[in-house]
Structure 1
Amino acid sequence: MLIRWLLAAVHLLGYGFALAAIIGRTRGLRRLTGPADLPRVFLADNVWGITAVVLIVTGLMRVFGGFEKGAGYYLHEPLFHIKMTALVLILILEVAPMVSLIRWRIAIRNGDAPDLSRAGRFARIGHWQSILLVVMVFAASGMARGIGAATS
């Protein structure tokens, strides 16, 4: 019982930290005027990456680890499918910013000036990721209250 509670709490906290990190990175990217502004973006990106891992690991543990209702329950819940679709979209949207931010970090480490021309595009991606993360929270809270529950 204690582990179920802790997993749920960490999972829920992960959403808050993830949203804050995405918004922080998005703001940093919008305000980016040059390489001197990158540390703030990199910090928010690090937090976003860590929270994404926490959300995925705790989510997998809750679905497949025998700590919650189990895969049989979740895989038949329509809201779970909405939640997972939003997650997949977030991860697909993350590919381009992730690759570029890695390249920017390497350029900075090598003393080169990174190409920051796509920062605005990545900020727009962050906006959509924030919306999708909120969709995930609504789907999760709906599931917790039996909304849209599959009938047996």
Structure 2
Amino acid sequence: MSTEILLRYVHFISIFTIVGALVSEHLLLKETISRSDIGRLAKIDGIYALGVIVLLAVGMTLWLGGFGKPTEFYSKNPIFHTKLTLFVIIGILSIYPTVFFIKNKNGDPEENIQVPKAIFWMVRMELLLLFVIPILAGLMAKGIGSTG
């Protein structure tokens, strides 16, 4: 098996990990939640973070490491830059929920905590933006946005 195929496989698995974690977070969120459930959400958020780190590392390796298409194919493609921008926006949106989960996971496990409405909207916006990225990837695969 070539290194490129292995890297692309890990790239896809990390995408599935991110989507699964975000969907899980969305399904587990409630207006009022116990600290033990916040602890679960914090663990899921940790899996999400691990998926993001792996995706970023492998994506950068594929982009800059000379595997498959040349670096210029991606570097000069505005659709690729749109994908990266969406990825950064998703990362920024994830900061507040992550901080909330970490800050509120400790204490009496039965104590209920009010979840700010902003967290619901941030997770939903992350999911929405995340589902746009594959469309952009498909466009790139067809050569759309390529200057060469």
Fold similarity call, TM over 0.5: yes
Q: Which has the higher contact order (CA 8 A, sep 6+)?
A: 2
- For residues 67-146 of structure 1, the aligned pairs below 5 Å read 67-105=67-105, 108=106, 111=107, 116-146=113-143
CA distance in 1 between counterparts of 2:116 and 2:28 reads 9
| Alignment CA distance shift 1:67-1:32 (3 Å) | farther
CA apart distance, 1:119: 4.4
CA apart distance, 1:80: 0.3
Aligned to 1:62: 62
Larger % of helix: which?
1
Paired residues, number: 147
Give identity over the alignment, percent.
27
Normalising to structure 1: TM-score of the pair?
0.84
Larger % of strand: which?
2
Deviates more, 1:4-13 or 1:63-72: 63-72
CA distance in 1 between counterparts of 2:54 and 2:74 reads 19
Aligned to 2:8: 8
State the AA in 2 paired with 1:140. A
| Alignment CA distance shift 1:50-1:32 (3 Å) | farther
Normalising to structure 2: TM-score of the pair?
0.86
Indicate if the aligned counterparts of 1:86 and 1:132 stay in contact, CA closer than 8 A.
yes
CA apart distance, 1:112: 5.6
CA distance in 2 between counterparts of 1:137 and 1:58 reads 16
State the AA in 1 paired with 2:147. T
- Aligned-residue RMSD, C-alpha: 2.2
CA apart distance, 1:102: 2.1
Aligned to 1:149: 145
Q: Any stretches of 5+ residues in structure 2 without a counterpart? A: none
CA apart distance, 1:89: 0.7
Deviations 1:51-100 (A, max 9, x none): 11111111111111222324321011121011011101101111211222
Indicate if the aligned counterparts of 1:63 and 1:74 stay in contact, CA closer than 8 A.
yes
Aligned to 1:33: 33
Deviations 1:13-57 (A, max 9, x none): 211121110010122123653213223312321211111111111
State the AA in 2 paired with 1:19. V
Aligned to 1:43: 43
